[in-house]
Amino acid sequence: MIHILTGAYRIWEPPTGFSRVELDLGCGKGGFLLAMAGKDPASLYLGADVMLGRLRRVQRKIERRSLTNVALLRVNAWDLAGHLLPDHCLHRAHILCPDPWPKARHRSKRLVTSEFLGRLAQKIAPGGVVHLSTDNANYLAAMRAAIAPLDAYHSYPDGIADIGAIKTDFEREFEDQGLTVTHLAFAVKH
């Protein structure tokens, strides 16, 4: 089911009965999201995107695979991290290959900023992980610079060791073009 959270002014409560909750923020075509959900039926996987058409295609894939541990959220990332999820509800959040907005005049549109990561830290349970990736060297440097001043995080590469072989649709495309996608993982301290 696709939950439309656009314009919502209430906290969305993930369903109960799952051992952990993970968020794929900007889930796109859903390849990464569905691979994780298929490996771990005891956990709930949230796929969030603003594009309703993408979410509808992912929903059809979920139905074809008979997955019961995926919820799709049509929502703006800032609203989700700001006030739509309860605090400390996520065990891991993935922001993988987000739009790098490479032109200097567009960089203010980048999602991974200190402000956004600070908000997201409140939604992650103690010891939970934020997983970032990009193929863009400038954005990689900006991601590192954005998280560096935040005391809530510390580098934790082992936080994604169990999913290292799972690639996003974009990551496979980038690798086919000879580009390298770098992954970063940070644990949240509370």
Place of tokens 């992980």: 129
What separation, in Å, do the N-terminal and C-terminal C-alpha atoms of the chain show? 32
Q: Which two tokens stand for residue 151?
A: 């005391």
- Cα–Cα distance measured from residue 64 to residue 10, given in angstroms and rounded to the nearest whole number: 31
Q: Are 65 and 103 in contact (CB under 8 A)?
A: no
For residue 149, what are the CA distances in angstroms to 51, 121, 137, 140, 152? 32, 13, 20, 15, 9
24 is catalytic: no
Altogether, the residues listed in the chain come to a count of 190
Which amino acid is located at 145 in the chain? A
Catalytic hit among 40, 49, 99, 176: 99
- Report the run of H or E that residue 137 belongs to, with start and end: helix 137-147
User: Which residues are catalytic, by number?
Assistant: 99
